[in-house]
Structure 1
Amino acid sequence: MTIQDELTLSYYKTVADINATHEIFLVQDTRDGKFYVKKILTVYNLDVFKHLLAHPVRNTPAIYTVVEDDGRLITIEEYIPGDTLEEILAKGPLTEGQAIDITISLCQIIEQFHNCTPPIVNRDIKPSNIKVTPDGVVKLVDLNAAKPYNVDATRDTVLIGTQGYAAPEQYGFGASSVLTDIYAMIELVDNAMLQVKEFPDNGDQYFEIVAKCYLNRFKYNETDLLDILHIERSRFYDRKKEAIMVFGIALWGSEIPKLQTFLSQLDETDNLPLLAV
């Protein structure tokens, strides 16, 4: 660390712990009074942070300072207000619109990383690393596990990731690539679909509706769908709305047993209530 680095870091005074165990702090710049996030990382990829410092990725924290010191990386990043998706889900399920917006926004962020040269693989996509700001913007906030894709690598040198979302290569069975992040998204969808199928009322039908309307390459016309699902047109659109709602709940972490409370709120037409978070 140079004297200039020490001077730069000295301007940022810690005002609160965000996660003291992982050495993440809320700091304030004494020069302009603005708030930032200071991280002290022991597992990191310097090339990723240097790239993000020079080429910010939209809807991720801007990187303002990167200092390497004795095997640690100290970063000063944009402070992003709001709740994590994990915190939002703890309050209640997402509406259909929220689930769709968050999924599309997340894919757009990941696409930017994969379009870098070389592509950057996030390797840790999960609800606790996704934030929704007070004005509804979706942000991917934790980039500590990210690494550049190395086409010549046969396996990762540092094994990192979160159980339930990590791809096999993150456990040592190969090298991370852009497919690693796609795997995480597929895992989210796949787990959600299993939960939809297990839904106590109409689970099998909800599963078929979501699968055939949204996840199948072959596009069915309405007549074929009604025939396959053995359902009347007058009921189809209600069931489709319910299926998307259940899928949206399952996609972002709520388990089927937790959905039992919603069954008691069904009205006589079997419509699931769209509950706002």
Structure 2
Amino acid sequence: MLKIGSVVDNKYKILNEIGHGGMSTVYLAMNERANKQWAIKEIRKEKFANEDIVYDSIRSETELLKNLSHPNLPSIIDIIDYEGSILIVMDYIEGNTLRKALEEYGPQPQEYVIQWAKQLCDVLGYLHSQNPPIIYRDLKPSNIMLKPDGTIVLIDFGTARRFNTENNEDTTCLGTRGYAAPEQFGGYGQTDGRTDIYCLGTTIYHLLTGKNPSEPPYEIYPIRYWDESFSQGLEKIIIKCTQADPNRRYQNAYSLLYDLEHYDELDSEYRRKEKIKLISFILVVVLCIANAVGAATCHFYGKHVQTNAYETYLVDAEKGQSLDDMREAYIETISINPEEADAYIRLIERVYLEDNIFSEDEASEIRGILINQSNGHTYEELLQKNKLGYQMFSYQLGMAYFYNYEGTGNKQLSAYWLKKAAEGELPESQTARAERLGAIADYYTSLGMMDKTGDSKVSFKDYWSDLISVSEGNIVKDDNANTALVIYKEVASQICVYADRFNKDGVSYGEMELALMEIENHVQDDIEKAKVEKTDRIVELEEELEKNIEKARQVISLNKQETSK
């Protein structure tokens, strides 16, 4: 075991023990050079029969996690072979596990559990979207940290693995009995994303009822067996999650997320009312068909009515007295014709980005809209039939993730949509910008790792070139003034943060100053002289850009002074 007060790898001072399990101990450590706290997980090699295989396995799994970036995942920055132990250095997460919450307070309120479950769906969906997918396999309350702000973080990736399409079954049975799916112990092939769905179902069950599935009676009862006040819809969700046959569960995390966001609509009373509405609608349809002149005429007229209704709803949405009114109107417009892109795009531009923040709730809502179904197809599948429209939507969504997610942007989450946007139907300038922003998203992953370890893992010269390429040309003409100003702000911001590293990698301070001047010229020529309408948002962005440029020049000046000493 590590000694309190000892220093590991010449930089991590062990402060105290903060956790202990069957195979590992977790310590709080301080990197005294960086004045930052980390958690260090110690895994004793003596616990395993074959040290080499275990070490290789842990290293490979840790390496894959180092490349991930998600608000509900800890950052893992290092793995150290140290005196008979394997040490994993990761973010220190302030808070307690949900297991401790259960031990101290008993069953948790339904509304809290649903919010936690939705966050878990989002992080599982992110893991499963990796190529190849990452399967967590040991979801349970003791592996979920609850932070003081109410957000959760998924910890302990000791059993995580990459999905291998060539495997028929797993070679090892890992997971916690009671929470784990049947396939983790043989019987239904290898584990995949649906395995984590099962584990999430058992975890929700435990948090709601306080009944540990790893203890007697070792069964998952319907939650209303324990408390009739629980939602019937939530009970149905848990039952579907915990089906023994993976084919009968939710097939992906986002389908589960959608139902969690609409769990009350699965209740019997709600469904009864909807059934009455459906019967009424069917009667109307039958009467229409009975009076129709012919199938062809009905089809033509139906298309005509659908198009007119779509355009009418789209225009009416612009007249919404509040953002909520506009949001509901755009979503309703989408449901009229999911193949048209305008309503999706305007929902993002005019509602989600009205405050320049693309929130986690808004991102979750648009994902939920995309998995809605019409005539046996998801809305996203229907929108994909309109290739240009789908790429325009993908471009807008990718930009929202890149620059606006949670106010600061999330480059990793933008990559999928930017790749879709760059597939060729958009104008050349937008296609090129989507490709470059996708490349920059990869830089951000490496930049984040570098900041934590102190080791350079990226060429700042290449990063600078791509960053400047994105800002070239008349972005106002190609896109709009909002997009142009957001991109210019990003360039100035990166100079503020990385000016010295750009310089050390061969970018002169003169080049940086020239880039700032070019940005000011673009604002003057493409916005001011072109007499672009000055909305409140454009005025706000111009003011923010001016501050960023001023700060960037101050940073450049200070760095030049330091260099000249």
Residue number among 117, 124, 127 corresponding to 1:110 in the alignment: 124
Q: Aligned AA for 2:16?
A: A
Q: Aligned AA for 1:220?
A: R
Could you tell me which residue of structure 2 aligns to residue 57 of structure 1? 70
Could you tell me which residue of structure 2 aligns to residue 75 of structure 1? 88
Could you tell me which residue of structure 1 aligns to residue 271 of structure 2? 220
Could you tell me which residue of structure 1 aligns to residue 480 of structure 2? none
Following superposition, the deviation at residue 194 of structure 1 comes to 2.5
Deviations 1:72-94 (A, max 9, x none): 64210000011111111221432
Q: Aligned AA for 2:118?
A: I
Q: Secondary structure at the match of 1:18?
A: strand
Contact persistence 2:96–2:145 (CA under 8 A): yes
Deviations 1:204-241 (A, max 9, x none): x964785494558xx7242759xxxxxxxxxxxxxxxx
Relative to structure 1, the CA distance from residue 36 to residue 188 in structure 2 (aligned partners, 3 Å threshold; closer, same or farther) is closer
Question: Is it true that 1:144 corresponds to 2:158 in the alignment?
Answer: yes
Could you tell me which residue of structure 2 aligns to residue 160 of structure 1? 174
Relative to structure 1, the CA distance from residue 20 to residue 187 in structure 2 (aligned partners, 3 Å threshold; closer, same or farther) is closer
Following superposition, the deviation at residue 165 of structure 1 comes to 1.1
Following superposition, the deviation at residue 155 of structure 1 comes to 2.5
Structure whose residues are more often helix by fraction: 2
Question: Is it true that 1:197 corresponds to 2:224 in the alignment?
Answer: yes
Question: For 1:30 and 1:65, how far apart are their aligned partners in 2?
Answer: 16
Q: Aligned AA for 1:177?
A: D
Could you tell me which residue of structure 2 aligns to residue 3 of structure 1? none
The structure showing larger relative contact order (alpha-carbon pairs under 8 Å, at least 6 residues apart) is: 1
Question: Is it true that 1:87 corresponds to 2:100 in the alignment?
Answer: yes
Contact persistence 1:35–1:79 (CA under 8 A): yes
Could you tell me which residue of structure 1 aligns to residue 200 of structure 2? 185
Could you tell me which residue of structure 1 aligns to residue 546 of structure 2? none
Following superposition, the deviation at residue 101 of structure 1 comes to 0.8
Question: For 2:234 and 2:138, how far apart are their aligned partners in 1?
Answer: 30
Residue number among 124, 139, 142 corresponding to 2:138 in the alignment: 124
Structure 2 unmatched runs, 5+? 1-6, 46-53, 210-219, 237-262, 277-565
Could you tell me which residue of structure 1 aligns to residue 37 of structure 2? 35
Structure 1 unmatched runs, 5+? 1-6, 226-277
Q: Secondary structure at the match of 2:9?
A: helix
Question: For 1:215 and 1:72, how far apart are their aligned partners in 2?
Answer: 50
How large is the Cα RMSD of the aligned pairs?
3.2
Q: Aligned AA for 2:68?
A: H
Following superposition, the deviation at residue 71 of structure 1 comes to 8.7
Question: For 1:103 and 1:52, how far apart are their aligned partners in 2?
Answer: 22
Larger radius of gyration: 2
Contact persistence 1:15–1:28 (CA under 8 A): yes
Following superposition, the deviation at residue 13 of structure 1 comes to 1.5
Residue number among 104, 114, 125 corresponding to 1:100 in the alignment: 114
Question: Is it true that 1:19 corresponds to 2:15 in the alignment?
Answer: no
Following superposition, the deviation at residue 190 of structure 1 comes to 6.7
Question: For 2:234 and 2:71, how far apart are their aligned partners in 1?
Answer: 34
Question: For 1:30 and 1:136, how far apart are their aligned partners in 2?
Answer: 29
Residue number among 57, 60, 66 corresponding to 2:79 in the alignment: 66
Relative to structure 1, the CA distance from residue 68 to residue 57 in structure 2 (aligned partners, 3 Å threshold; closer, same or farther) is farther
Contact persistence 2:140–2:200 (CA under 8 A): no
Relative to structure 1, the CA distance from residue 49 to residue 215 in structure 2 (aligned partners, 3 Å threshold; closer, same or farther) is farther
Structure whose residues are more often strand by fraction: 1
Question: For 1:10 and 1:215, how far apart are their aligned partners in 2?
Answer: 57
Q: Secondary structure at the match of 2:17?
A: strand
Q: Aligned AA for 1:138?
A: I
Contact persistence 2:16–2:29 (CA under 8 A): yes
Question: Identity across aligned pairs (percent)?
Answer: 28
Question: For 2:138 and 2:117, how far apart are their aligned partners in 1?
Answer: 15
Question: For 1:8 and 1:208, how far apart are their aligned partners in 2?
Answer: 51
Contact persistence 2:141–2:203 (CA under 8 A): no
Q: Aligned AA for 1:40?
A: E
Relative to structure 1, the CA distance from residue 112 to residue 70 in structure 2 (aligned partners, 3 Å threshold; closer, same or farther) is farther
Following superposition, the deviation at residue 127 of structure 1 comes to 0.7
Deviations 1:155-186 (A, max 9, x none): 22332111111112221443221121112123
Question: For 1:61 and 1:197, how far apart are their aligned partners in 2?
Answer: 35
Q: Secondary structure at the match of 2:137?
A: coil
Return the TM-score normalized by structure 1: 0.66
